[in-house]
Structure 1
Amino acid sequence: MKVKIISLSRKRTPMKKIAYLLLILCLGISCVGSGGLHYDQLTNGEKIEATRSQLDHSNYEALLKKYVNEKGFVNYEGLAEEQAKLKSYLTYLSVNPPRKDWETGEQFAYYINLYNASTLDLIIDNNMPASIKDIDGPLGQVWLKDFIVVDGNKYSLADIEKGVLQKMGDPRIHFAINCASYSCPKLLKTAYTGKNVDELMDRAANEFVNSDKNDLSDPNNPKLSSIFKFYTSDFTAVEPTLIDYVNRYANKKINVSATVEYKDYDWSLNKQ
C-alpha cells in the first residue's frame, strides 16, 4: 500500500542524505515507472467492460477460499503449508505477462492478483511478522523491495501499485489491493478476472467505505480511513471532492461541507 518514508536511526553521510531526499521527492510525485509492463489507461471515469479471460486464476482462488475468512483475515500458518501452490501461481503469472492485445479488464485483474498474491508470499517467506513494515527493504521500505518476477524482470510492490495500477486510472484499486494489514481493505476470497473485475472492485469499494475502517455516524464530522488521505488526488480525479467520492458508496451520506478527520492506520498483520 502506501510507501511511507520513515526516519532512519543511524547517521547518514551527505551522499546518503542526498539519495534519501531524492527518493522522497521521487515517491512524492509517483515517479516509480512501469518498467516496461504493459497497461491501458482509463480516462474520464471510463467504465471497465467485462472481458474474456486470458489466464486461469482458479488455483489462486482455491487458496483464497480455503485460507481467507469472510472478514478478509488470512490463516497464514495453513497457507504456508501450501505455499508451493501459491508460488506456482506466481510463476504462472510471471511467464504470462499482460500483452498489448489483452483487454483492459484482464490487465486490471492480472495486476491486482499479482500484488495480492505476492504480498501473501512475502509474508510467509518472512515468517509471518507482526507487521509487513517489519520486513526490510531499500531504506527500510518493504514496498521498495524488488522480489516480484514478471517476464524475467524484478519489480517491487511500489512498481506494481504506483507504476502500473495507479496510472491505469481507476481509484477503486485502493480497495482491491491488500497490504496484509488490519486497516487495509479486506482481501476477498475471490480472484479477480477480466469478467468480474469491475463488479469485484465495486464490491470492494462498497464494503470498505461502509466498514468499521471508516466512521460515518456523524455526517458533519466523518472519520475516514487514512487511505483517503494517502490517495486524495486519485479520488478527486474522478469526482469533484473526496466527499463526493465517498458518497458514491456510502450507505449514510456525508454532508458536502463536513469536516473530515482521518483514523490512525493499524499496520498489524491481518492474520486470523
Structure 2
Amino acid sequence: MARAPRRGRPPPRRAPERDERVPRRPRAARGAGVPRRARRGARGGRGGRARRRRGRAGRARGARVIHTGARAALAAIAAAVILCAVSAAPARAAGFELDLLDALLAAYTREVEDAAGVRVDYRGLRAEPRFAALLAGLAAEPAPPPARRAEHLAYWINAYNVLAIALVVQGGPVDSIRDLGGLLRPVWKRPAGTAGGRAVSLDEIEHGILRPLGEPRVHAAINCASVSCPSLRREAFRAERLEAQLEDALRRFLADPRKGARLEDGGAALRVSPIFEWFAKDFAAHGGVRAYLAARLPRESAAALAARGDAVELRYFDYDWALNARAGSR
C-alpha cells in the first residue's frame, strides 16, 4: 500500500509521458513580432537603410527646430518680463529744473504798479501739473555743499521762494501766508516741503542755512509771499549769474519808495524796510546798516545819507503781510 505524503509537502511532480507533453509552440510566421518599420527596412535592403537614415536626419532636424523655437520662446518671455519690470519701476524724478522754474514764473507772475511789485497766480499754479513736477525735482535734487558757495546760495534762495509759494498753493486760499500758521507754530516754523531729500521750514532755510553764509543781499532775494517782501524775482537764481542777480535785487528793492527806501523831511530822515532793523546784525560786518545803504541807495538818497551821516534819522515802513496774489487768484 502506498505511503501517504507528509503533511504539507506537495506530491512529487512526474514527468509527463511523451504523449502527455505540451505540444511545441508553432513557429511564428516570418517577421511576426518584428516592428513594421524594421520589417520594411529589412525588406528594402539599401533603400531601407537610406530611408532609415533620412528618417533619423528628419527627426534630428525636427528636434533642432523645436529646440530653436523653444529658445526663441524663452528669450521672448525673458524680454517681456524685463519690459514689465522696467515699466513697473517708478520713473526717476528729474532734478530741480531751473528752466522749468523760469517758465512757471513767466507764466504765473505779473509785474504790477502797486507795492507788491510782482503778484502771483496761486490759483493757476494749484491746477498746474508742472508745479508739482518742480516740487518733486526740488525734493530729489541734492543740495550743493557750502563749499560750492554760489551753487549753494542759489539753490537755497530758489528753494525758499518755491516753498513759500507751495505753502500758499497747497494751503490756500488765504489772505496772508501767516494764516497758515498759529500762535504756537507760526507758518515759518512748520514744514514747508522737501528740499535736498529732507523736510525743511522757511525759518530753517533763512536762519539756519542762508544767514550764516554772511551774504546780507539774500534778504532782498527771498520772498515770503507778502506785499512788503522784496518783490519776487521773475527768474531763477543761477550760480553763474548770482553776483549780478543779488546786486540787482538789492538795488531794485532800495529803489522802491513804497517798501524799500524813501527820503523824508527834506533828507532829514530815511524810511527803509523793517528788514534792515530785524536783521541789523547781518550788516555789521559791512560797516553797519547806514554804511551798507549809502553804498547802494539811489543817488539822491545815498548823497543825503553820506552828507549827514548819523544825523539822518532811520525810520521804518509798516510791514504789509497781505498775500501777494493777483486779483481773484489766491
Question: Please, what TM-score do these two structures have when normalized by structure 2?
Answer: 0.62
CA contact (8 A) 1:137 1:143 kept: no
Take 2:140 and 2:183, find their aligned partners in 1: how far apart are those partners?
Answer: 26
Supply the distance in 2 between the matched residues of 1:200 and 1:118 (Cα, whole angstroms).
20
Give runs of aligned pairs for residues 163-178 of structure 1, distance below 5 A.
Answer: 163-178=208-223
1:236 aligns with 2:279: no
Higher relative contact order (CA 8 A, sep 6+): 1
Q: Which runs of 4+ in 1 moved over 3 A?
A: 99-102
- Structure 2 unaligned residues grouped into runs of 5+: 1-94, 112-116
Matched, 1:149 2:188: no
| Match among 79, 91, 99 for residue 58 of structure 1 | 99
Q: Deviation digits for residues 57-110 of structure 1, max 9, x if unmatched?
A: 11011000111122321122222221x322221221221222449621111110
Shift of 1:248: 1.9
Matched, 1:256 2:283: no
Match of 2:224, SS state, is: coil
Q: 1:26-37 counterparts in 2 under 5 A?
A: none
Per the alignment, in what secondary structure is the counterpart of residue 222 of structure 1? strand
Whichever residue aligns with residue 63 of structure 1, its letter is L
Contact 2:160-2:222 at 8 Å conserved across structures: yes
CA RMSD in angstroms comes to 1.9
The alignment of Structure 1 onto Structure 2 pairs a total of residues equal to 217
What percentage of residue pairs aligned between the two structures are identical?
A: 31
Determine the C-alpha separation between the residues in 2 that align with 1:271 and 1:244.
34
Report which of the two has the higher share of strand: 2
Task: State the AA in 2 paired with 1:256.
Answer: G
Is 1:222 the equivalent of 2:270?
yes
Structure whose residues are more often helix by fraction: 2
Matches within 5 A, 1:59-98: 59-70=100-111, 71-82=117-128, 84-98=129-143
Letter in structure 2 aligned against 1:116 = N
Q: After alignment, is 57-66 or 213-222 more displaced?
A: 213-222
Give the structure 2 partner of residue 210 of structure 1: 255
Give me the whole-angstrom Cα distance separating, in 1, the residues matched to 2:203 and 2:220.
Answer: 16
1:161 CA displacement: 0.4
TM-score with structure 1 setting the length: 0.75
Match of 2:8 in 1: none
Query: Which whole-Å deviations, capped at 9, do the CAs of 1:207-241 have from their partners, x for residues lacking one?
Result: 00110212224432111111111111102222x22
In structure 2, C-alpha distance between the alignment counterparts of 1:61 and 1:208, rounded to whole Å = 21
5+ residue gaps, structure 1:
1-53
- 1:150 positional shift: 2.9
Q: Work out which of the two has the higher radius of gyration on C-alpha atoms and give 1 or 2.
A: 2
SS of equivalent residue, structure 1 residue 140: coil
**CA shift for structure 1 position 137:** 5.2
Per the TM alignment, residue 138 of structure 1 is displaced from its structure 2 partner at its CA by: 7.2
